[in-house]
Structure 1
């Protein structure tokens, strides 16, 4: 069995690593939140642009066969 000071050293290193991973995880979660908000905003803008294009297309005159172009 490992001596007590060695075990204490390992536990301390594990705690430091845990803290580092917890901070990294928090930063990644913040990035996910920001990217999700950006994605939702882009989806909304895309839907609005599609709606405007559809409205413009609806205003175009309908061509029938035989109509002069």
Structure 2
């Protein structure tokens, strides 16, 4: 049978584990939020890049064809 000291030690370890678990839960929530923000930023940058590519392509289409005399 476990002595009172062992029970106290186990209870203390359980308490520390619960505190650590709560800390990890908070950290995880913050990381999830950060991933969501970064995903939104990435999507926005991709959209802006595609728009810029479209504008460059349109400008290139407007350039006259330059065929060197053969």
User: Across the two proteins, how many residue pairs are aligned to each other?
Assistant: 67
Contiguous gaps of at least 5 residues in structure 2: none
Any unmatched runs of 5+ in structure 1?
none
Residue 25 (structure 1) aligned to one of 28, 31, 37: 28
Let me know the Cα RMSD of the aligned residues. 1.5
Matches of 1:9 and 1:60 in 2, distance apart? Answer: 76
Q: TM-score by structure 2 length?
A: 0.90
Q: Distance in 2 between matches of 1:38 and 1:53?
A: 22
What's the CA shift for 1:3? 1.0
Q: Is 2:50 the counterpart of 1:47? A: yes
